[in-house]
C-alpha cells in the first residue's frame, strides 16, 4: 500500500489551427486555436483509497486515526484563441536576442472541483465512524448539471438522461484572458559562417541553419484564467461527525447509503445541517454565498538551455516549474519536471531521448521519433524494455501527430555570382546583379551578350568597343588607335 499519497493527471492538448506569418526579417505574427483539458487528482492518502475500494470493509484500517491533507480533484476544459507576436531585439554578430508574447482569449467549456485542506477520520467498522471531521469545498460549472442525477416525480434519484449536443461547446464561462511572455538568447561564435550576400542584398542570415552554439530561453506561460457561474449544488461546508462532535458516540454511516451523486449528496448535507433531530454542529454550511468561481490557467515557468554539440547533434536541459496553488480549491496545475534530452535533429528525421525527473512521475526515460511530418513518442519506455522488472506506472504519456511545415531553404547559386538561380538569366555563367547574373567581363557596364567587344572595356555608343584616341573610330577599325584621326592624316601626308 505504501505511504505516499496517490496523484494523477490528464493533460490533453489539441491544436485545431496554427499559422505563423513573417512580417519582415525581424518580426512575425501567429494565430492559433487550441482545445485544452486538464484533470488533477492530488494527495489522496493510500488508506483512503483502500477503504473506498473496499466500501470501508477493511479491518486493518479500523480504529486508526487517519488524515488526509490537501486532497483535491479538479477539472477544466477550455478553448484558446491565441494571437502571438515575436520580434528580434538584438542581432549583433555573435549575440542574438528575440522576445515575444501571446495574448489568449479563453472560452471555458466546463469545470469542477472537490477540495479539502484537512480531513481527519477514524472508522470503527464498515458501518460506524468514530469520527469524521474537516472542511470541504466542491463546485462545478452550471452547464455540467445535466450530467448529475435528477429527482423524478416520486422524489427518487435517477441517473441523468443527458444527451450530448453542440451546446457543450458554447461559451460557459465569462470570456477569460491569458498571456504567455518569453525571450531567447543565442550565442553565435561562428556567426560569420552564416552570413552571405545575394540578389543585391548584403549581410543576410542563412535561415536553413541553426546558427547558435548555445541557446537560452525563458518563458512564463499560462498567466490568467476564466470565471464560471456555479452550478446549483456547489457549496462549502464543515463536517464534525462522531465522538468529536456533540453526540459523543460512533456515527451511523447508514445515512450515507443514499448518496449516488452530487444532487443526493447536496440534499443530505442540507438535511444534516438543518434537521433539528441531529446536532447542529455535525454539518455547518459556509455563510459565504458566491455564485461563481474562478479557475486559473496552469501557470508555469519554462527555462531551457540548448547546446549544439556538432553537426546535427544537440543536448537540451529544461525545467518546467508549475505553480502548485495547493490551498486554492478551484485550480488546475502542471507538475514540475526537469529534463535532459540528447537528440539528433536533421531536416527530415529526428531522434530524441528525454531523461526526466519530477516528484509526480519519478524518473522516466522517454523516446521521440520524427520521420518527415510524422511525430511519435512516449515519456517512459522502461516498462516496455523490462516489463517483468519495472512495474511502476509513471503515466501513459504517448503522443503522435502530423506536422506539415515549409522548410527555410538556402538560395541556390550554381555559378557563385551572388545572384540566385531563380533570378539568374545566365545561370551557368558568373555575372553581376546589375544584369541579373549575366557577365560583363570587361566591366564597362554593358553585358557580354550585348557587347561587341566583350573583353575590352568600351563605350555604349560603340556597343562596348573602345576608342582609345577618342576620334570616333573604334580601336579595332582604327589604323592608329592611339592617335586621333586629324593628326594621323597629317603624318600620312608627309610620306606621300
The tens digit of pLDDT for each residue in 308-360 reads: 999 999 999 999 999 988 888 889 999 999 999 999 998 889 999 999 998 87
Percentage with pLDDT > 90 across the chain: 42
Lowest mean pLDDT among 19-28, 78-87, 135-144: 135-144
Same domain, 49 and 196: yes
Q: Region 271-297: what's the mean pLDDT? A: 67
Q: Is the pLDDT of residue 488 over 60?
A: no
Q: Region 219-248: what's the mean pLDDT? A: 80
Same domain, 307 and 444: no
Q: Region 155-162: what's the mean pLDDT? A: 46
What is the rounded distance in angstroms from the CA atom of residue 237 to the CA atom of residue 234?
10
Q: Which of 314, 335, 356 is the last residue of a domain?
A: 335
Report pLDDT for 353: 95
Same domain, 75 and 184: yes
What is the rounded distance in angstroms from the CA atom of residue 79 to the CA atom of residue 73?
21
C-alpha cell at position 439: 557577365
**Residue 52: burial class (beta carbons within 10 Å; 0-12, 13-18, 19+):** exposed
Lowest mean pLDDT among 58-67, 112-121, 264-273, 444-453: 264-273
Report pLDDT for 266: 63
Does some domain include residue 29? yes
Does some domain include residue 360? no
pLDDT band at residue 146, thresholds of 50, 70 and 90? low
pTM exceeds 0.85, yes or no:
no
Q: Region 175-197: what's the mean pLDDT? A: 95
Asked if 273 contacts 284 with a C-beta cutoff of 8 angstroms, the reply is yes
Does some domain include residue 365? no
Report pLDDT for 338: 96
Q: Which of 335, 359, 388 is the last residue of a domain?
A: 335
User: What's the alpha-carbon Rg for the chain, to the nearest Å?
Assistant: 38
Higher pLDDT pick, 2 / 464 = 464
What is the rounded distance in angstroms from the CA atom of residue 235 to the CA atom of residue 262?
11
- Domains in the chain: how many in total? 2
pLDDT band at residue 292, thresholds of 50, 70 and 90? confident
Higher pLDDT pick, 359 / 202 = 202
Per-residue burial over 140-156, b = 16 or more CB atoms within 10 Å of its CB, e = otherwise: bbbbbbbebbeeeeeee
Report pLDDT for 487: 47
* Average pLDDT of the chain, as a whole number: 83
Q: Is the pLDDT of residue 276 over 60?
A: no
Does some domain include residue 254? yes
Report pLDDT for 205: 87
Report pLDDT for 286: 64
Report pLDDT for 162: 43
Report pLDDT for 279: 46
Does some domain include residue 235? yes
3-state SS, the chain, equals: CCCCCEEEEEEEEEEEEEEEEEEECCEEEEEEEEEEEEEEEEEECHHHHHHHHCCCCCHHHCCCCEEECCEEEEEEEEEEEEEEEEEEEEEECCEEEEEEEEEEEEEEEEEEEEEEEEEEEEECCCCEEEEEEEEEEEEEEHHHHHHCCEECCCCCEECCCCCCCHHHHCCCECCEEEEEEEEEEEECCCHHHHEEEECCEEEEECCCCCCCCEEEEEEEEEEEEEEEEECCCCEEEEEEEECCCCCCCCEEHHHHHHCCCHHHHHHHHHHHHHCCCCCCCCEEECCCCCCEEEEECCCEEEEEEEEEEECCEEEEEEEEEECCCCCCCCECCCCCEEEEEEEEECCCEEEECCEEEECCCEEEECEEEEECCEEEEECCCHHHHCCCCCCCCCCCCEEEEECCCCCCCCCCCCCCCCCCCCCCCCCCCCCCHHHCCCCCCCCCCCCHHHCCCCCCCCCHHHCCCCCCCCCCCCHHHCCCCCCCHHHHHHHHHHCC
Does some domain include residue 409? no
Q: Is the pLDDT of residue 401 over 80?
A: no
Does some domain include residue 420? no
Q: Region 466-488: what's the mean pLDDT? A: 72
Same domain, 329 and 437: no
Does some domain include residue 346? no
- Its sign, for the CA torsion 52, 57, 58, 61, is positive
Which residues have a Cβ under 8 Å from the Cβ of 430 and sit 6 or more positions away? 415, 416, 417, 439
Q: Which of 302, 347, 309, 303 minimizes the C-alpha distance to 214?
A: 309
Asked if 50 contacts 66 with a C-beta cutoff of 8 angstroms, the reply is no
Domain span holding position 204: 6-335
Q: Which of 301, 335, 369 is the last residue of a domain?
A: 335
What is the rounded distance in angstroms from the CA atom of residue 376 to the CA atom of residue 189?
34
Q: Region 23-43: what's the mean pLDDT? A: 93
The tens digit of pLDDT for each residue in 40-94 reads: 998 888 888 888 888 888 999 999 999 888 889 999 999 999 999 999 999 988 9
Higher pLDDT pick, 359 / 376 = 376
Q: Is the pLDDT of residue 388 over 70?
A: no
Same domain, 316 and 438: no
Q: Region 28-51: what's the mean pLDDT? A: 92
Amino acid at each position: 500500500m505504501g505511504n505516499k499519497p496517490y496523484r494523477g493527471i490528464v493533460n490533453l492538448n489539441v491544436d485545431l489551427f496554427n499559422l505563423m506569418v513573417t512580417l519582415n526579417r525581424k518580426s512575425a505574427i501567429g494565430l492559433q486555436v487550441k482545445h485544452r483539458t486538464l484533470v488533477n487528482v492530488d494527495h489522496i492518502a493510500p488508506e483512503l483509497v483502500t477503504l473506498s475500494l473496499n466500501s470501508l470493509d477493511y479491518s486493518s484500517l479500523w480504529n486508526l486515526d487517519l488524515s488526509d491533507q490537501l486532497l483535491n480533484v479538479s477539472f477544466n476544459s477550455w478553448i484558446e484563441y491565441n494571437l502571438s507576436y515575436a520580434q528580434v531585439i538584438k542581432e549583433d554578430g555573435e549575440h542574438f536576442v528575440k522576445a515575444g508574447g501571446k495574448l489568449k482569449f479563453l472560452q471555458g467549456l466546463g469545470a469542477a472541483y472537490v477540495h479539502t485542506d484537512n480531513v481527519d477520520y477514524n472508522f470503527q467498522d464498515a458501518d460506524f465512524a468514530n469520527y469524521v471531521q474537516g472542511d470541504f469545498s466542491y463546485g462545478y460549472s452550471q452547464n455540467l448539471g445535466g450530467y448529475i442525477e435528477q429527482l423524478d416525480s416520486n422524489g427518487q434519484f435517477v441517473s441523468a438522461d443527458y444527451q450530448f449536443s453542440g451546446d457543450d461547446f458554447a461559451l460557459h464561462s465569462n470570456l477569460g484572458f491569458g498571456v504567455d511572455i518569453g525571450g531567447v538568447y543565442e550565442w553565435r561564435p561562428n556567426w560569420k559562417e552564416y552570413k552571405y550576400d545575394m540578389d543585391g542584398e548584403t549581410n543576410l542570415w542563412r535561415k536553413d541553419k541553426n546558427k547558435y552554439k548555445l541557446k537560452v530561453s525563458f518563458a512564463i506561460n499560462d498567466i490568467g484564467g476564466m470565471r464560471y457561474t456555479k452550478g446549483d449544488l456547489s457549496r462549502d461546508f464543515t463536517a464534525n461527525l462522531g465522538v468529536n462532535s456533540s453526540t459523543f458516540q460512533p456515527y451511523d454511516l447508514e445515512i450515507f447509503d443514499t448518496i449516488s451523486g452530487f444532487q443526493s449528496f447536496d440534499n443530505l448535507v442540507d438535511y444534516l445541517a438543518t434537521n433539528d433531530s441531529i446536532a447542529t454542529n455535525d454539518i455547518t454550511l459556509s455563510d459565504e454565498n458566491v455564485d461563481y468561481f474562478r479557475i486559473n490557467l496552469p501557470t508555469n515557468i519554462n527555462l531551457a538551455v540548448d547546446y549544439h554539440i556538432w553537426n546535427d547533434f544537440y543536448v537540451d536541459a529544461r525545467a518546467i516549474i508549475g505553480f502548485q496553488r495547493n490551498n486554492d480549491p478551484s485550480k488546475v496545475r502542471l507538475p514540475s519536471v526537469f529534463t535532459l534530452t540528447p537528440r539528433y535533429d536533421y531536416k527530415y528525421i529526428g531522434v530524441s531521448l528525454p531523461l526526466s525527473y519530477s516528484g509526480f512521475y519519478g524518473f522516466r526515460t522517454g523516446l521521440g521519433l520524427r520521420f518527415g511530418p510524422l511525430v511519435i513518442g512516449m515519456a517512459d519506455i522502461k516498462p516496455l524494455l523490462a516489463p517483468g522488472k519495472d512495474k511502476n506506472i509513471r503515466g501513459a504519456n504517448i503522443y503522435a501527430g502530423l506536422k506539415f511545415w515549409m522548410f527555410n531553404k538556402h538560395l541556390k547559386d550554381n555559378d557563385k555570382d551572388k545572384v540566385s538561380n531563380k533570378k539568374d538569366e545566365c545561370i551557368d555563367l558568373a555575372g553581376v546583379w546589375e544584369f541579373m547574373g549575366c557577365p560583363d567581363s570587361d566591366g564597362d557596364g554593358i553585358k557580354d551578350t550585348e557587347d561587341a567587344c566583350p573583353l575590352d572595356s568600351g563605350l555604349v555608343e560603340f556597343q562596348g568597343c573602345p576608342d582609345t584616341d577618342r576620334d570616333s573610330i573604334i580601336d579595332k577599325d582604327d589604323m592608329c588607335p592611339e592617335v586621333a584621326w586629324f593628326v594621323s592624316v597629317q603624318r600620312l601626308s608627309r610620306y606621300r
